[in-house]
Amino acid sequence: MKLTKDGLGKSINGWLLRQIELLKWKTEPFTEGSDGMRGVMIQGTASDVGKSLICTAFCRILSDQGIQVAPFKSQNMSNNSYVTILGEEIGRAQGVQAEAARTVATVDMNPILLKPESDMKSQIVLFGKKLETMGGMEYRANFYEQGLAAIDQALVNLSKNYTHLVIEGAGSPAEVNLNDREIVNMAVAERADVPVILVADIERGGVFASIVGTLALMPHPERVKGLLINKFRGDIRLFEDGIAFLEAYTKLPVLGVIPYMGNHEIEQEDSLGVREISRDNRNRPIDMAVLKHPYLSNFTDLEPFLNEPDVSVRWVEFVKDIGKPDILVFPGTKSTIADLRYWKEQKIEDTLLSIENKTRIIGLCGGFQMLGDSLSDPDGFDGTKAEFEKGLGLISGMVTHFTKEKFVKRRSGTAKMNEQTFNVDGYEIHTGRSKYGGKALVSFEDGTEGVQTERLIGTHIHGIFGSADSRQAFLAPIRQEKNLSQPMVQECSDRYSRFAGHVKAHIDWAQVERIMEGKG
């Protein structure tokens, strides 16, 4: 993040002022301090059409123009969270977008975060802190007014420090069964009084029906000022008649057709996005199998391995599909005991015994906790009540107990793996408190964290594989065993600018600017 020391201080001071303002919540629509506040809202015809990445690109483009821009998403549903410098949780997409905007991520950028704990209940994180767990009907009935108040307050706070907002919608705005109490799409565009650009994913097929149908069913379609076609593959000339049809039928301009870009290196908030990228790296010599928990979280810990040209990353939903990989990953989870039981019901212990001398194991956060001797959560703070749950026993003596208070903290230290030392810059976010011994993985000024053996590493720290040095240290013995040379990994030093340039080159940015200024 390109931020001066003075800028960081200003952001922290702004946060302190916001804490005072939070004591005076407002229930009227966003108006205070909004003079000169401009922006745009990116809505989509469905989930995973690319809204988050387009918002990221817009944030960087506006930042390049010297504009004080901030991302905003009123309510996010994701177990892939971002920890701010003050130890608060927001949706990871808004943290990434803040980095693209060259500003400090704050809870005002995503005041409401829902973290699913089961099919029926989600943990509510309000302004970065855990509030309570609610079922869907209870949330819809009892949280609506409180949610609107939080959204209005966040918009007021952002208007004091920024001139432009890039607002991200959620899912589809045409969910007619939810629109009377929705707080994520057109209701937000109305409260912030910004125009809307509608994005459709052409790769899925049915792009014409998805656009026309969405416009027909969404409230206030007159606020939509343009269309974007995303993830196009092939010769753009083949779609010229499609553009002409859409513009004639909808009376809206097609602002651009953005070609698919699979190697943008920007973290995906939705695991669907990571799974799509991983399809392109099959048949590589190092086989990494990643367990796809039912309540998977923080899957972006594994995204950096997609940059390794000799590593194949594949998702595994059933034990029978694990096979005999070189690396088996237990990633993070929002409901550790529930997901542990899912794998134990399929007798994963037998598979672990059969591969114990051939496969290296990685345990991350909740996945790390599964590898211990036992877990206990008598009050169900992590989603599933259990007085005692037997772990997988790969880390002898490790016990985990879940508490009401969540541990959230950014972490910086050093780690040594296979005689190679590297820096670690990540964060911890978990309710389980674990006790274990053995050789530590990461060292801090005030202690250590994690554990490592010859064929296993475990840690609560998310982002530990973010650097090429860390991945090289971990992969070195595997490459040696397979007689593979160390490949040259060219990591994009400014992935945000690269992707923003790609987007800007394929859209009518001048028209987007006119739309944001209310002239489109």
The sheet carrying 112-116 orders its strands as 75-77, 112-116, 121-126, 129-135
Element (H, E) at 443: strand 442-444
Element (H, E) at 423: strand 420-435
Residue 259 near residue 229 (C-beta atoms within 8 A): no
- Cα–Cα distance for residue pair 469/450, rounded to 1 Å: 18
CA atoms within 13 A on the CB side of 174: 17
Burial track 492-519 (b if 16+ CB lie within 10 A, e otherwise): eeebbbbbbeebbebbebebbbebbeee
Residue 143 in 3-state DSSP? coil
Beta pairing class for 311-316 and 286-291: parallel
Those residues with Cβ within 8 angstroms of residue 241's Cβ, 6 or more apart along the chain or in another chain: none
CA nearest neighbour of 43 among 265, 178, 210: 210
Dihedral over Cα of 64, 67, 68, 73: its sign:
negative
Those residues with Cβ within 8 angstroms of residue 329's Cβ, 6 or more apart along the chain or in another chain: 288, 289, 290, 291, 302, 361, 362, 363, 364, 367
CA nearest neighbour of 139 among 152, 128, 129, 126: 126
Dihedral over Cα of 47, 67, 70, 153: its sign:
negative
Q: Which residues are catalytic?
A: 365, 462
Q: Which amino acid is at 428?
A: E
- Cα–Cα distance for residue pair 8/253, rounded to 1 Å: 40
- Cα–Cα distance for residue pair 188/167, rounded to 1 Å: 9
DSSP summary character for residue 342: H
- Cα–Cα distance for residue pair 36/39, rounded to 1 Å: 10
Q: How far is CA 119 from the centre of its chain?
A: 19
Q: Quote the tokens at residue 82.
A: 């971002």
Q: Beta-carbon neighbour count of residue 412 at 10 Å?
A: 13
Q: Which residue has the tokens 């209701």?
A: 187
Q: How far is CA 475 from the centre of its chain?
A: 25
Element (H, E) at 247: helix 240-250
Q: How far is CA 93 from the centre of its chain?
A: 5
Q: Which amino acid is at 283?
A: N
Residue 71 near residue 109 (C-beta atoms within 8 A): yes
